[in-house]
Amino acid sequence: MHLKVGDIIKFERAFIEEDVALFTKLSGDAGNHHTEPDEQGRLIIQGLLTATLPTKIGGDNNVLARTMYFEFLRPVFTGDTIVCEVTIDELKKQENNRTSISASFICSNQYEKQVLSGSFAGIIR
């Protein structure tokens, strides 16, 4: 993928109970709201699991993150479909054949309610 300032990269994902169970095991974030279904049979997704959506762009583009800022706006539940839009805000070539990057993002659920926003910056190798 060849990035340009102003590019908007959009993708979506639905989290399932197995995702929550794996992240619970990996992170140790085992609050009752992540392990016991609510009255509608849903689990609340860990905030940092939801935050893996915008970090996918970093992985797809070999970004070494320097800073990440997340604002968790609403809970995300199993079965929700989350759409993530990442906007490339800045790219700067450096002497060492690397590029600095900064980007902002918004994640919304299937009801078009924002659940997560923030930004990240780093270096593209």
CATH architecture of the domain formed by 8-15+44-124: Roll (3.10)
Any idea what the Cα angle at residue 47 is, between residues 61 and 91, rounded to 5°? 25
Helix (H) or strand (E) holding 99: strand 99-108
Q: Which one, of 104, 94, 124, lies nearest residue 6 by Cα?
A: 104
Domain boundaries, the chain: 8-15+44-124
CB atoms within 10 A of CB 51: 18
pLDDT per residue, tens digit, the chain (125 aa), is 589 999 999 999 999 999 999 999 999 988 898 899 999 999 999 999 999 999 988 889 999 999 999 999 999 999 999 999 999 999 999 988 899 999 999 999 999 999 999 999 999 98
Reading the block at residue 61, the tokens are 């583009």
Is the whole-model pTM more than 0.75? yes
